[in-house]
Amino acid sequence: MDAWRTSITHVDEKNIWIRGYEIGSLMRRQTFAGAVFLLHKGRLPSEGESRLLDAILISVSDHGPGSPSAATARLACSGNRKGLSSAIAAGILAIGDEHAGAGEACMAIIAQGLRRVKSESISIDDAAERAVDDAEAAKKRLPGLGHRQHATDPRKDALFDLARDYGIAADGVAFMIALEKAASSRIKPLPLNIDGVLAAILYDMGFPPEFGKFVFVIGRVAGLTAEVAEELAREKAMRIHVPVVYDGVPPREIP
Amino acid sequence: MDAWRTSITHVDEKNIWIRGYEIGSLMRRQTFAGAVFLLHKGRLPSEGESRLLDAILISVSDHGPGSPSAATARLACSGNRKGLSSAIAAGILAIGDEHAGAGEACMAIIAQGLRRVKSESISIDDAAERAVDDAEAAKKRLPGLGHRQHATDPRKDALFDLARDYGIAADGVAFMIALEKAASSRIKPLPLNIDGVLAAILYDMGFPPEFGKFVFVIGRVAGLTAEVAEELAREKAMRIHVPVVYDGVPPREIP
Amino acid sequence: MDAWRTSITHVDEKNIWIRGYEIGSLMRRQTFAGAVFLLHKGRLPSEGESRLLDAILISVSDHGPGSPSAATARLACSGNRKGLSSAIAAGILAIGDEHAGAGEACMAIIAQGLRRVKSESISIDDAAERAVDDAEAAKKRLPGLGHRQHATDPRKDALFDLARDYGIAADGVAFMIALEKAASSRIKPLPLNIDGVLAAILYDMGFPPEFGKFVFVIGRVAGLTAEVAEELAREKAMRIHVPVVYDGVPPREIP
Amino acid sequence: MDAWRTSITHVDEKNIWIRGYEIGSLMRRQTFAGAVFLLHKGRLPSEGESRLLDAILISVSDHGPGSPSAATARLACSGNRKGLSSAIAAGILAIGDEHAGAGEACMAIIAQGLRRVKSESISIDDAAERAVDDAEAAKKRLPGLGHRQHATDPRKDALFDLARDYGIAADGVAFMIALEKAASSRIKPLPLNIDGVLAAILYDMGFPPEFGKFVFVIGRVAGLTAEVAEELAREKAMRIHVPVVYDGVPPREIP
């Protein structure tokens, strides 16, 4: 088999280097969030980038046992208590286009809006109005706006404050705030949700769209381990009984 | 269906609390490692506990594309490029008794050794000699010692230094160092490996044995996201060709 | 990388042979169950072995959306609708020691009982009494007996009838029937469940204990695909809301 | 939680019915392939439909340890030998757009071609020429044609013969054969591959495009169980060493 190429981590008999930095030095001087940043960006984060990524990871770490990822992990654990990594993997498999997937679409809308700002020399507010026009014309919902569970997302202020304090908030954040305002005045109250907040910040940090899903997985896996640990400690095997109604064809004979 | 109980995360329409702490405050004032600690321990970490957990998570975050978890993730990605979470979940499924599983056995040996120290009023060195006796009598390998790849694990010093600097290193660390000495003098050079180092420190931090696997999964998932991102960016689909030799029965006819 | 050895399937540019048989011939002349038998046993099944394995695979193929595997697959699908294989994999991860795991323990008890029949020259009925003695002494439940959901398992008669009609039923089946009788007269009504029935038959077919879990996975994956197809066709994304009660610490301030 | 609706399998205390048929009757009178057909179609198969689905499931059951799904399962197993279902799930996660995904695109091209036959009153041969025109104009590869490994797929004749013998082969098969002819005369020799053959037959059996991936998963899981069983029986843990070349930045100091 041909050797696999990598530019991420170099391992030899004596040491391990991540993106060129000796792992022991990283362990002494960075947070885990800093290492996540380094792994993906190939450079060390500034203090603000590091702090913001810590906050992002915490923001998605857990949303209770009822979120699809945690519920999937607990259900898998209920039938398969020996395989700790199985339950966590099952939980991760619930993450996709619907659960934590809006961020990617949202980053695309930000990118398109800010291209218009440049190419058409319009304001960010005008570009946000255009995005609402597009969504109305296509009869599509705008990603990143509107809440399933929270009237105002409790994670928004902490993330935007940190992003501003460290000088990271830029056009991505400005665009999403303008979009919230435009959509809410023209359609109905559509507050920024966590997907929209994260998309704005990750855009301003220079991450590509798919990083939104990666960062969600990294953060959420922490919550999944705690959810699985609690399931094992507090609950019996096979305890989950889903109520089912059969509405198919009545009993019949094989001809 | 009966409601699911949890003591970890409380979500209502207005806010999210992890172990009683409002999530926004945690985001402003803790690192992600601190949140991992809180999720599992139910209390906030000291500065040292937080720093040490950051270092632990970095230490297991990546070991190159050839480690079983990363290679599994890349292979899965090679056939299934659209499902980012699929490849990461596949990588996690490679984590088990053999890959990152020695820590659990190691923490059990530490616990047994330190029980003997108390119950039989012997020294930690003597308890370590007994553990070698047991392993020799049972003809079993001692977990946490001996290296697949590194003659001296490059992560050991950083972890032990931090553990000592913050006053966290205690009997667990002392026992594993004594065990390394006893085994190396009686059997062959058996340097502490990363599983043994982590087991010693997690024991001294008061974590239960299964946390060793959880912390490995949390840290490694960061590396898996970077490995998958690189696979998608640099490599073609279906590029991995495993050389195979068939040594079964020769062609035959169905009777 | 060293070549991987295999004695199962040989692939060259011109053809594919499974255990020496050209795949086209197998497709023309065997059922899928026959191929499963061949893959694991290395020989073609008799007509009875083939029919019985078909019946076994059907018996475990689906148990409604509420079984842990199907519920896990549907939950994963609810958040991740694009990844068909993700949801199926998540469902499989719910299969383990508790869900479909009793068969392995049951085959071990059959093997032990039948060893006693030989070594102590006792009857199968007496060996079954001994197994009940052992379970009572150890205060353990006997695997393969007692039902979660069915007073008499509807799959039992079909499997035992086929096993008898084709001359496959032997000491394994006899032992489990004796065990049901002995346990029910001494403890409480403990009818054979599907795990016990499958263990008896797979034992008499000469399969090793781990095959019980493999055959469950192969059969159940059929049901999982149908459950996932129905979830996608009939239900909205994120439709599953698990009721949650928080019983942890009340809100508190970070010191 | 609201009850989950299903029209597939009804379970009560006394019995189990799949699509209205009592499970015991199905076990006595159908093959597993028949049950797969019933689960997805909601009716029992004809003899030909049942035989053809058996042949399809066999055709995709195994392709040796080097196929992405089997290699992923073996790698996962190498690090995690206790979790049988983990390794199988990991293997399934390698199935996606690249590995077994061409069938879906292929069924879409068949459907489009046959719509043109009707709406434009052209022959199937002409519709196939149009499909080649489209592919050339879009500079895209035609799915279902061209081989990675086999010059002529050894599974094609068995599937097409069975489909013809049982009167199932219809316009789908005719279109794919016409497409092979048109593409091979205009571009280069592009023989039908297994994805194209399966797409043609599943189209003529009236299955929706996503069933192609489901049927692949059901068949392949049989091979994965055998591959994992062989890995456990013949190979040591952690035996797989992927050769790696690091081509990233050289060692550097943290500033």
What ipTM was reported for this prediction? 0.96
Residue A213 to residue A107: CA distance in whole angstroms: 12
Q: With 90 as the cut, is the pLDDT of residue A76 above it?
A: yes
Q: Which of D83, D86, D244 sits opposite B66 (nearest CB)?
A: D244
User: Does any CB of chain A come closer than 8 Å to the CB of residue D3?
Assistant: yes
- Any idea what the Cα angle at residue A150 is, between residues A61 and B31, rounded to 5°? 25
Q: Indicate left, alpha or beta for C135 from its phi (over 0: left) and psi (-120 to 50: alpha).
A: alpha
Q: Over 90: is that where the pLDDT of C104 sits?
A: no
For D53-89, write each residue's pLDDT tens digit: 999 999 999 999 999 999 999 999 999 998 889 999 9
Indicate which of A10, A31, A75 best probes the interface with D, i.e. most D CBs within 10 Å of its own CB.
A10
Can you tell me the distance from the alpha carbon of C197 to that of C175, in angstroms, rounded to the nearest whole number? 11
What is the distance of C-alpha D26 from the center of its chain?
25
Q: 206-245 in C: which are within 8 Å (CB) of B?
A: 242-245
Question: Which residues is D5 bridged to in the sheet?
Answer: A245
Helices C171-186 and C124-137: crossing angle in degrees, nearest 10, is 50
How are strands ordered across the β-sheet holding C21-22? C9-11, C16-18, C21-22
Measured at the CA of A85, the angle between CA B38 and CA B93, to 5 degrees, comes to 140
Answer whether B82 touches A (CB < 8 Å): no
Q: What is the pTM of this model?
A: 0.96
Residues of chain C contacting B4 with CB distance shorter than 8 Å: 242-245
What pLDDT is stored for residue B213 in this prediction? 92
**DSSP code of residue D176:** H
CB D73 within 8 A of CB D88: yes
Confidence grade of residue A103 (pLDDT, cut at 50, 70, 90): confident
Residue contact B78–D68, C-beta within 8 A? yes
C58 touching chain D per CB within 8 A: yes
pLDDT of residue B165: 98
D241 has pLDDT over 80 = yes
CA gap C78, A100 in Å, rounded:
12
Asked if B42 and C8 come within 8 Å (Cβ–Cβ), the reply is: no
* pLDDT tens-digit readout, A164-187: 999 999 999 999 999 999 999 998
Nearest CB to A245; choose among D3, D85, D252: D3
Q: Mark yes or no for CB contact D25/A254 under 8 Å.
A: yes
Q: State both tokens at A192.
A: 């920024």
Interchain CB distance below 8 Å, D8 and A248 = yes
- Record: contact A89-B90, CB cut-off 8 A: yes
Mean pLDDT of C115-131: 96
Residue B82: per-residue pLDDT:
87
Give the pLDDT confidence score for residue A152 in this predicted structure. Answer: 84
Apex C16 CA angle, C15 and C22, nearest 5: 95
Mean pLDDT score of chain C: 95
Closest CA to B113 of B93, B96, B134, B98: B134
Q: How far apart are CA A6 and CA A203, in angstroms?
A: 26
Report residue D40's pLDDT band, with 50, 70 and 90 as the boundaries: very high
Neighbours of A134 (CB within 10 A): 14
Confidence of residue C98 (pLDDT cuts 50, 70, 90): confident
Amino acid sitting at position C135: A
For residues D221-239, average pLDDT: 96
Q: Check CB contact under 8 Å for C7 and B249.
A: yes
Any chain C CB within 8 A of the CB of A4?
no
On whether the CB atoms of residues C180 and C132 are closer than 8 A, the answer is no
Contact B70, B63 (CB under 8 A): yes
The whole-angstrom separation of Cα B229 and Cα C143 is: 46
What one-character-per-residue DSSP string does C49-105 give?
HHHHHHHHHHHTS---TTSHHHHHHHHHHHH--S-HHHHHHHHHHT-SSSSS-HHHH
Cβ <8 Å between B225 and A40: yes
Query: Counting beta carbons within 10 angstroms of the beta carbon of residue A131, is it exposed (0 to 12), middle (13 to 18) or buried (19 or more)?
Result: buried
Look at A80 and C98 and tell me if their CB atoms are within 8 Å: yes
pLDDT band at A251 (very low <50, low <70, confident <90, very high): very high
- Strand A9-11 and strand A16-18: the pairing is antiparallel
Strand partners, A252: D21
The pLDDT assigned to C91 comes to: 97
Q: CB–CB of C18/C38 below 8 Å?
A: yes
pLDDT tens-place string over residues D91-150: 999 998 888 888 888 999 999 999 999 999 999 999 999 999 999 999 999 999 987 777
**For all residues of chain A together, what is the average pLDDT?**
95
Contact between B248 and C10 (Cβ < 8 Å):
yes
Q: Is B86 on the interface with D (CB under 8 A)?
A: yes
Contact residues, chain C, for A75 at CB < 8 Å: 68, 71-72, 75, 94
Whether D90 and B86 lie within 8 Å, measured CB to CB: no
**pLDDT tens, D171-222?**
999 999 999 999 999 989 999 999 999 999 999 999 998 899 999 999 999 9
Helix or strand or coil: residue B147?
coil
Contact B76 D98 (CB under 8 A): no
Cβ within 8 Å, pair A85-B213: yes
User: CB-based contact (8 Å) between A42 and chain D?
Assistant: yes
Chain C contact present for B21, CB below 8 A: yes
A44 touches chain D (CB under 8 A): yes
Tell me the nearest-neighbour CA distance from C127 into chain D, angstroms: 30
Rg of chain A in Å (alpha carbons)? 22
Which residues, listed in sequence order, are joined to residue D17 by a DSSP beta bridge? D10, D22
User: For residues A85 and B213, is the Cβ–Cβ distance under 8 A?
Assistant: yes
**What is the token pair recorded at D201?**
């037959």
All residue ranges of chain B with pLDDT < 70 are none
CB atoms near residue A41 (< 10 Å): 17
Interface test mutation site (partner D, options C221, C232, C240, max chain D beta carbons within 10 A): C221
Compute the distance between CA of residue D161 and CA of residue D239 in angstroms, rounded to an integer. Answer: 43
Straight-line distance from the first to the last Cα atom of chain B, in angstroms, rounded to the nearest whole number: 55
Q: Hey, is the C-beta of C76 within 8 angstroms of any chain A C-beta?
A: yes
- Contact yes or no for A104/A212 (Cβ under 8 A): yes
* B11 and chain A in contact, CB less than 8 A: yes
Question: Sign of the C-alpha dihedral, residues A103, A109, A115, A118?
Answer: negative
State residue C61 phi and psi, 5-degree precision.
Answer: -65, -35
- With beta carbons less than 8 A apart as the criterion, state whether A180 and B50 touch: no
Tokens at residue A77, please? 């654990």
H/E stretch holding D115: helix D102-119
Give kind and range of the element (H or E) at residue C183.
helix C171-186
pLDDT tens digits for A120-157?
999 999 999 999 999 999 999 999 998 777 778 999 99
3-state secondary structure chain A: CCCEEECCEEECCCCEEECCEEHHHHHHHCCHHHHHHHHHHCCCCCHHHHHHHHHHHHHCCCCCCCCHHHHHHHHHHHHCCCCHHHHHHHHHHCCCCCCCCHHHHHHHHHHHHHHHHHHCCCCHHHHHHHHHHHHHHCCCCCCCECCCCCCCCCCHHHHHHHHHHCCCCCHHHHHHHHHHHHHHHHCCCCCECHHHHHHHHHHHCCCCCCHHHHHHHHHHHHHHHHHHHHHHHHCCCCCCCCCEEECCCCCECCC
Among the partner residues C1, C85, C242, nearest to B243 by beta-carbon distance = C1
Q: Please answer whether residues A180 and A75 qualify as being in contact, where contact means their C-beta atoms are separated by less than 8 angstroms.
A: no
Q: Give residue D182's pLDDT.
A: 96
Through-space distance between the first and last CA atoms of chain C, rounded to whole angstroms: 55
Residue A219: name the closest of A183, A185, A194 by CA: A194
**CB-facing half-sphere around the CA of D140: CA atoms within 13 A:** 13
pLDDT, residue A34, reads: 98
CA distance C182 to chain B (A): 36
Instruction: Give pLDDT tens digits for A19-74.
Output: 999 999 999 999 999 999 999 999 999 999 999 999 999 999 999 999 999 999 99
**Cβ–Cβ under 8 Å, residues D72 and D64:** no
pLDDT per residue as tens digits for the range C48-80? 999 999 999 999 999 999 999 999 999 999 999
Share of chain A above pLDDT 70, in %: 100
Residues 155-214 of B with CB under 8 A from D: none
CA dihedral B21, B27, B28, B34 (to 10 degrees): 80
